[in-house]
């Protein structure tokens, strides 16, 4: 099994970015295990082929399918629970704060 190659970068305002091949489900699973919480999920994944369609190799089609179809599916399946937990905690905290006014 290919080990997840996660590149971690710190940027402004406490934002952490992770770089994985979202078309490879095992990499997304490893990412989900490595992240304790998520409050935003942004993906800019794309694997585009710039040649006539009839000249596209099977590997070209597989790469496009991985980044545009399978990748978002893997992200939702493995990361949405982190996002939902964060939103529920935020809503409960907000409701409790508003109730005390």
36 within a domain of the structure (yes/no): yes
CA distance 73 to 68: 9
What's the rounded Cα separation, in Å, for the pair 68 and 65? 5
**Cβ–Cβ contacts within 10 Å for residue 23, how many?**
22
| Residue 17 within any structural domain of the chain | yes
Predicted confidence (pLDDT) per residue in 57-95, tens digit: 999 888 888 778 888 888 888 888 777 766 666 566 666
Give the domain extent around 62: 7-99
CA 9, CA 6: separation in Å to the nearest integer? 10
What is the pTM for the complete model shown?
Answer: 0.60
DSSP H or E run through 19? strand 16-19
Confidence band (pLDDT; 50, 70, 90) for 2? very low
Q: Is residue 69 part of a domain?
A: yes
Tally of domains in the chain:
1
Q: What is the CATH number of the domain that holds 84?
A: 3.40.50.720
């Amino acid at each position: 099994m290919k080990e997840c190659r996660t590149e971690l970068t710190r940027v402004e305002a406490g934002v952490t970015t992770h770089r994985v091949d979202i078309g490879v489900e095992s990499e997304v699973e490893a990412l989900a295990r490595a992240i304790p919480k998520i409050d935003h999920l942004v993906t800019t994944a794309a694997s585009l082929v710039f040649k006539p369609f009839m000249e596209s190799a099977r590997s070209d089609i597989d790469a496009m399918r991985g980044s545009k179809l399978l990748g978002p599916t893997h992200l939702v399946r493995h990361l949405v629970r982190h996002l939902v937990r964060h939103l529920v905690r935020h809503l409960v905290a907000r409701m409790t704060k508003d109730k005390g006014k």
